[in-house]
């Protein structure tokens, strides 16, 4: 089942560190079959406020996502982002096909 790395980033400083991070992140995801689904698009907020850019990276499963985040290649570039943006990053599993809202009541 797919899993996702989700990042909410704000106050991004687009200087040399962020440029280097962007130039290198794709290569860190390749061995773990990660791919961007969302990458900084401004969301159309319908309720409340979301003062952050949204990033979603899809992986084949949660283990691939965990191994990517913990990989030496990603950990090497991670400070390039964390020094230049306020962020919340988390991993989450996808739901099985056919999931209904009422399934959480069981």
3 state SS for the chain: CCEEEEEEEECCCCCHHHHHHHHHHHHHHHHHCCEEEEECCCCCCCCCCCCCEEEEEEECCHHHHHHHHHCHHHHHHHHHHHCCCEEEEEEEECCCCCCCHHHHHC
Residue 41's pLDDT is 82
Residue 43's pLDDT is 87
Domain residue spans of the chain: 3-44+62-94
Q: How does pLDDT run across 30-74, given as a tens digit for each residue?
A: 999 999 999 988 789 999 999 899 999 999 999 999 999 999 999
- 3-44+62-94: CATH architecture: 2-Layer Sandwich (3.30)
Q: How does pLDDT run across 67-102, given as a tens digit for each residue?
A: 999 999 999 999 999 999 999 999 999 999 999 999
What pTM was estimated for this model as a whole? 0.93
Residue 40's pLDDT is 84
Residue 42's pLDDT is 79
């Amino acid at each position: 089942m797919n899993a996702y790395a989700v990042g909410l980033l704000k106050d991004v400083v687009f200087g040399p560190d962020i440029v280097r991070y962007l130039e290198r992140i794709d290569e860190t995801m390749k061995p773990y079959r990660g791919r961007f689904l969302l990458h900084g698009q401004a969301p159309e907020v319908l309720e409340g406020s979301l003062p952050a850019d949204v990033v979603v990276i899809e992986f084949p499963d949660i283990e691939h996502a965990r191994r990517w985040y913990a990989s030496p290649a990603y950990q090497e570039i991670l400070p390039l982002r964390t020094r230049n943006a306020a962020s919340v990053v988390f991993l989450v599993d996808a739901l099985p096909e056919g999931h209904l809202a009422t399934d959480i009541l069981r």
